[in-house]
Structure 1
Amino acid sequence: MIQKAFKMKLFAGQEEEYKRRHDSIWPELAQTLKEHGAHTYLIFHDKESNYLFAYIEMEGVEMWDKVAKTEICKKWWDHMKDIMETNPDNSPISIELSKVFNLK
């Protein structure tokens, strides 16, 4: 299992819309994530910087990469591109974070 953490950035004033869209995440997208081995997926918002902090536990990097190739994921990216910073393919600009501590 892998643990990934990354940050993304919302456009100003889009915090409530981002939350609204995730509160009603498409069942097909949630199922795709689970079928690809996602166990825990958390996203937090930093109000001062408008950055999102995301953390996911998943079966492996290969499965994470496969999710990004699904049509439902691409459709979700297209749905979200108007409220956050994205790449030319509409995927969110995400900056991977390195783990520096783990309390066991």
Structure 2
Amino acid sequence: MKIQKTAVAGTMESSDIMVTIAPNEGNGMEIDLDSTVEKQYGKIIRRTIEETLKELKVHDARVHAVDKGALDCAIQARVKTAAYRASGEQSYQWGGEAK
């Protein structure tokens, strides 16, 4: 999946995460995380974002995530939604690996 434009998913509410994905052509994956639980869960949140994008076959993207204590399932859903919006894809793969 190719990221073509900037897109956002999520809110700044408690227990949610706002994910912004933008193109990063040829520069790989860059993740900027601002989290209320950074010290305890920062590595896990970053890994969840990376794995979700790998599952969607996204290779070049700049991700800015503002976390307010979201669970893994919420992080995955927000990352997928932002990626689909940013890519312009109309065929959604919500379960399992993307084709």
Query: Structure 1 length as normaliser, TM-score?
Result: 0.33
Q: For the pair shown, which has the larger CA radius of gyration, 1 or 2? A: 1
Query: Structure 2 length as normaliser, TM-score?
Result: 0.34
